Structure 1
Amino acid sequence: MENFVFLEITRWIVHLLILACILIAILRFRTLQFEQKIVFYLLSITLPVELVSVWLWKVHINNNFIFHFYTVAEFLLLAIIYRKHLNTLIKSVHVLAVMIAFVLFAVINTVFFQSLKQFNSHTIFVECILLIVLAILYFYKELRDLENRHLERVPMFWINASVITYFSGSLVLFYVANDLISESMKTKGVIWGTHALFNIVHYVLYAIALLIRNQEKTSALKS
């Protein structure tokens, strides 16, 4: 009972945070930078996915198929952001090749290994690894180039912090999800409760990223 209440509370917090992020983005859309708009598009997909998956779960319908499609969409949108911001470190064509390879891997995994009725932990595991690598590369590029002395004022810094925090925390969680799916409700509650906490941090950092006005653009206007 306690686990159920905790899950319900954290789930509502996550949904409200996503909605808040979307509203912030809508109100500031004209001034949003490229990466902020991509995050807005991602969140606009995420909210209905979250709501539909919860509804299906409550009516005892398998909702795993949703995540087979959502995982691909999430990775591609985030990879588009990194493709732009890592173009001085990695050739855009290489990031594009990774994006295509990931889609192919996701399709192969769904067709041959984890069907639409199963949780796509293999695909999410690979997604986590790839995004963690891209996030580390972004931090490396910023430290190498030192273009932004106040990274906390740069939206991409907070987007990257959100990515590396959430996907690092979720890496092991998603990988073991299938092995623990037959465990007790208490164990499942701990797993998804932990995931909900990662989600809260994830969307709080996204909210900060959407609230920040781009430092470079502001500096250019002043000059």
Structure 2
Amino acid sequence: MRFRRLPANLRYLTGVVALEVISEIAGSTLKHYHRPNLFIGPIFAAGELWLLALVYDKTLRYPGFSRVRPWLAGAFVVYCALDSWLFPEAARFKPALQLLESFLILGMVGLYFRKLLNELRVTRLDREPMFWVSVGLVINHLGKSQIYLFSNFLLTHYSNQLNLDIWAIHALLLVVLYSCYLVALWIRPQN
């Protein structure tokens, strides 16, 4: 109901949330029917980065970022497509893609925090939706980067229970991210 009253950056954020919900449902459904679901990762990563780049483009309003954003996001989408097409191992987890996505997203979040500190126009951070989005992304992508760095080693050298525990931490990081997204969409942005 509030979608029409949301600023442009938060409208794109609802697109990110919708993409995440669709990806989670598709992945869970495939897992339930014992089908490989790792091919969803590159599709989701490409869509998430593209939409988050639009979110931060509308938030930052930097002309330089606006010029680079389509090329950066487009190059990442091409990389995702090539990675899936040239190396179609559906049963193997490939963390390089997720690490690159995390690096690019953390770069955009860094630009936001830089703008926030340089302009100092926000009187209450808890009432700033993009602050919540950025905090959620930092916590999520810093934690997931650690998992991605060691994932294939852990999958091949350690017990199944340890792997399940690590992916439970991954799920907890997603809960934190989704909670931050919901707070950002719930509060009314300041003028």
TM-score normalised by structure 2 residue count:
0.90
Contact 2:95 2:149 in 1 (8 A): yes
Alignment of 1:140-151 (within 5 A): 140-151=114-125
One-letter amino acid matched to 1:109: D
What SS is found at the alignment partner of 1:115?
coil
| 1:181–1:188 Cα contact (<8 Å) kept | yes
Structure of higher CA gyration radius: 1
- Matching residue of 2:48: 74
Q: CA deviation at 1:113?
A: 4.0
> Structure 2: which amino acid aligns with 1:41?
G
Superposed displacement of residue 39, structure 1: 1.7
Whether the 8 Å contact between 1:75 and 1:127 is mirrored in structure 2 is yes
Separation of aligned partners in 1, 2:189 and 2:87:
43
What's the CA shift for 1:142? 1.0
Identity %: 28
Aligned to 1:185: 160
Give the CA deviation at 1:176.
2.3
Please list the CA deviations of residues 119-174 of structure 1 after superposition, one character each: whole Å capped at 9, or x if unmatched: 23111110001101110111011111122222321211111111111111111212
Amino acid in the other structure paired with 1:46:
E
> Bigger shift: 169-178 or 125-134?
169-178
- The C-alpha deviation readout for 1:77-119, integer Å capped at 9, x for no partner, is 1011112223337431112221122112222322334634432
1:137 aligns with 2:111: yes
Measure, in 1, the Cα distance between the counterparts of 2:90 and 2:177: 26
Matches within 5 A, 1:98-117: 98-113=72-87, 115-117=89-91
Distance 2:42 2:65 in 1: 28
The residue aligned with 1:94 is: 68
Corresponding position: 1:55 with 2:29: yes
Alpha-carbon shift at residue 190 of structure 1 (Å): 1.2
For structure 2, the 5+ residue unaligned runs are: none
1:126 aligns with 2:100: yes
- The one-letter code sitting in structure 2 at the alignment partner of 1:170 is K
Q: Deviations over 1:40-69 (max 9, x none)?
A: 112222213212212222322111111121
Which segment drifts farther, 103-112 or 185-194? 103-112
CA–CA distance in 1 between the matches of 2:78 and 2:89?
15
SS in 1 for 2:77: helix
2:10–2:55 contact (8 Å) kept in structure 1: no
State how many pairs are aligned.
190
Amino acid at match of 1:157: F
What are the within-5 Å matches in structure 2 for residues 10-29 of structure 1?
27-29=1-3
SS where residue 62 of structure 1 aligns? coil
Inter-partner Cα distance in structure 1 for 2:152 and 2:74 = 26
Aligned to 1:194: 169
Unpaired runs of at least 5, structure 1: 1-26, 217-223
In 2, the alpha carbon distance for the partners of 1:94 and 1:88 equals 10
The CA deviation at 1:175 is 2.9
SS in 1 for 2:36: coil
Hey, which bits of structure 1, 4+ residues long, moved more than 4 A?
none
Q: What corresponds to 1:6 in structure 2?
A: none
